[in-house]
Structure 1
Amino acid sequence: MIDNVYLLVFYGMLLLFVIIAAFLLFYIRNQNMVWKQRRELQETQIIQQKELLNAVIDSQEIERKRIGQDLHDEIGGTLSAIKLMLNSLKNKLNEQQEEVLTDAKELIDKMIVDVRHISHDLSPPGLAVFGLFTTIEAFVNLINNTGQIKISLAHENDLEEVELPEKTSLALFRVLTQLVDNTLKHANASEIKMLFGVREANLSIVYQDNGKGFDMEVLNQRSGIGMQNIQSRLQMINAKYQIETSLGSGFKVDINYPLHLSE
């Protein structure tokens, strides 16, 4: 009789253990399914956000291109026509009026150059034909000629064989021009350095200025539209970046774009 009681207790405990084990297995399986669904939902949201970001940036670029062409063709053409009209008056004016005319022509020349620069910035004409590096060199020369700041451009490797998709080239061009614009507006810097290279199957771009720098915590909390655009464009092409800056120590960003995505 006592043996039967022990057997009943043993089988009861064994059954309880089996029930608990089954419950734990069911719970773990259910949790895994929940985590899997959450992960799939997060991945879907990330993909949707990226697709939306691509659509927004693509529409921005289409509008930039249209505005750039309109500026170059219509406004630039109108200014050139006005200059020709003023030239036709040259022999019909007295000396004082000719001085005013000369000043007006110089102002129009400046406006024509400014319009050309703005239109090229909105829609860089050489990017699709000559690629990122040549277009950046032209942009750097343009900035250097203004005398506002000195930009040094260097290549670690031979980059002629590096071919980038047009969307990637455009995104990186926009990032670099935005970084230059941020430096000019906020950094109080006298020099900018850009270093291009290929490292471990990545296109590496190092941008650095010798300006006043920023507090990283403040930069993270109060990221302006310019930095948001930079982050969005780099995210769009799956490029990684790392920012190094502190008050009084300038600003540096290291960008790495995986070249296998270009294949």
Structure 2
Amino acid sequence: MDNIYLLIFYSVLAVFILVTFFLVLYIKNQNMLWQQKKLFQETEIQQQKELLNAVIESQEIERKRIGQDLHDEIGGTLSAIKLMLNAAKNQDGASNGNIIEAKKLIDKMMVDVRNLSHDLSPPGLAMFGLYTSIDAFVDLINNTEEIEILITHEPLIEERLLNEKSELALFRVITQLISNTLKHANATKIKISFKPKEQRLEIDYADNGKGFDLSVLNTKKGIGMQNIQSRLQMANATYVIDTKPNGGFKMSIICPIEKNQAN
């Protein structure tokens, strides 16, 4: 009788060990599959990021080329036409209404071409850096007297903290935010602050506009917001948005300062 109990005990023990073995093997196999899936997802995300960076970088190269062509070729041609009209006016010895109107139109075209070329390829960014370029852009907006933009740099330093690609990405983000405010927010004031820290650059953007429901942004992103997120990703920057209906809009951006980024 004792032998039967021992046999049953050892049989149950053997079954338990066998089940435990297969259970551990199953868990190990599932963990391996999960690790492989995670690695595949990370690789896919990295490839998508590299592809996105390549697309945006090629767009910026093309923007720069088009901007230079607009400024050099079309701008130069318009200047030549203006000189020819001036010469015709002097030869006639009297003001010709058509010539005056043509000169005004050409002057407007030259301004439009200059503004467009500057928008495609921000002047001074490579030479003077992000803060100076944004400050110059803000001056242009303030001169329209449509809105007041206050910009601060704490502390005010001349050191270039980021590489040109990151600065260009942040320049596009800030100008896009300003454009969004002008188009949609009905705001009267914008505040932008730059705060260099030891290992990061903090940029705070805020307007006193009508704001919006943040949950809508989380479920449906417009092209402008998608561009902002893509460019921040290019600069390895993170961001936090704070907004609500009739509560204005705020975005805090943190861009890491790496040793190989400093100029």
TM-score range, shorter chain: over 0.9
1:149 pairs with 147, 150, 155, which one? 147
Q: Following TM superposition, by how much is the alpha carbon of 1:100 offset from its aligned partner in structure 2, in angstroms?
A: 4.1
Where does residue 169 of structure 1 map in the other structure?
Answer: 167
- What is the alpha-carbon distance in structure 2 between the residues aligned to residue 131 and residue 6 of structure 1? 85
Q: Following TM superposition, by how much is the alpha carbon of 1:183 offset from its aligned partner in structure 2, in angstroms?
A: 1.2
Per the normalisation by structure 1, the TM-score is 0.93
Q: Following TM superposition, by how much is the alpha carbon of 1:86 offset from its aligned partner in structure 2, in angstroms?
A: 0.9
1:196 and 1:206 in contact (8 A); partners too: yes
SS in 2 for 1:151: strand
Where does residue 79 of structure 2 map in the other structure?
Answer: 80
Q: Following TM superposition, by how much is the alpha carbon of 1:50 offset from its aligned partner in structure 2, in angstroms?
A: 0.3
Q: Following TM superposition, by how much is the alpha carbon of 1:142 offset from its aligned partner in structure 2, in angstroms?
A: 1.6
2:177 pairs with 179, 187, 191, which one? 179
Give matches, 1:217-256, under 5 Å: 217-256=215-254
SS in 2 for 1:203: strand
Which deviations, in whole Å up to 9, do the C-alpha atoms of 1:136-191 show, x marking residues without a partner? 11111122122232211101223423421111011001111111111111112222
Structure 2 letter corresponding to 1:21: T
* Distance change >3 Å, CA 93–CA 221, structure 1 → 2: farther
Per the normalisation by structure 2, the TM-score is 0.93
SS in 2 for 1:147: coil
Q: Percent identity?
A: 63
Structure 2 letter corresponding to 1:224: G
Q: Following TM superposition, by how much is the alpha carbon of 1:114 offset from its aligned partner in structure 2, in angstroms?
A: 2.0
Give matches, 1:14-33, under 5 Å: 14-33=13-32
Where does residue 102 of structure 2 map in the other structure?
Answer: 104
SS in 2 for 1:88: helix
Root-mean-square deviation (CA, aligned residues, Å) is 1.7
Give matches, 1:4-19, under 5 Å: 4-19=3-18
Where does residue 211 of structure 1 map in the other structure?
Answer: 209
Q: Following TM superposition, by how much is the alpha carbon of 1:110 offset from its aligned partner in structure 2, in angstroms?
A: 2.5
Equivalenced residue count is 261
Structure 2 letter corresponding to 1:91: N
1:158 pairs with 134, 156, 159, which one? 156
Where does residue 46 of structure 1 map in the other structure?
Answer: 45
Please, which runs of 5 or more residues in structure 1 have no aligned partner? none
Q: Following TM superposition, by how much is the alpha carbon of 1:95 offset from its aligned partner in structure 2, in angstroms?
A: 5.3
Structure 1 letter corresponding to 2:178: V
- What is the alpha-carbon distance in structure 2 between the residues aligned to residue 16 and residue 221 of structure 1? 52
Structure 2 letter corresponding to 1:58: E
SS in 1 for 2:258: helix
Please, which runs of 5 or more residues in structure 2 have no aligned partner? none
Q: Following TM superposition, by how much is the alpha carbon of 1:9 offset from its aligned partner in structure 2, in angstroms?
A: 1.3
- What is the alpha-carbon distance in structure 2 between the residues aligned to residue 147 and residue 80 of structure 1? 29
